[in-house]
Amino acid sequence: MRVTSKGQVTIPQNVRESMGILPAQSEIEFLQDENGRWYIAKTESYQKKTSRFRTANKAGKLTMSTDEIMALTRGESWPSS
């Protein structure tokens, strides 16, 4: 297996499939045994991080009208409804 100039290798497809490694969804770690041999292992603790913008979008509720928001950003008093 060839190592790129960036230190990367391609895990063969049959190895990925047998280990359940999925692109952009799996993490692996390198483990060394007492004899100095190295192994790769799929980690189970990987949790996909949700974008803070996606969670903020769901958290906020729009209760002000556009005119009220514009008045607030301009430092004006709110228009009467």
Residue 66 lies in a domain: yes
Residue keyed to tokens 């969670």: 55
What pLDDT shows up at residue 68? 80
Instruction: For 7-48, write each residue's pLDDT tens digit.
Output: 999 999 999 999 999 988 889 999 999 999 999 999 875 466
Collapsed DSSP state (helix, strand, coil) of residue 11: coil
Segment (H or E) for 58: helix 52-59
Q: Which of 30-34, 56-60, 73-77 shows the lowest mean pLDDT across its residues?
A: 56-60
Residue 63 lies in a domain: yes
Residue 79 lies in a domain: no
What pLDDT shows up at residue 1? 84
The number of domains in the chain is 1
Residue 18 lies in a domain: yes
Residue 1 lies in a domain: no
What pLDDT shows up at residue 72? 80
**What count of other Cβ atoms lies within 10 Å of the Cβ of residue 42?**
14
Residue 4 lies in a domain: no
pTM confidence score:
0.50
Residue 55 burial (C-beta neighbours within 10 Å; 0-12, 13-18, 19+): exposed
Region 44-72 average pLDDT: 67
Residue 6 lies in a domain: no
Compare 1 and 21 and report the one with higher pLDDT: 21
Residue 57 domain boundaries: 13-74
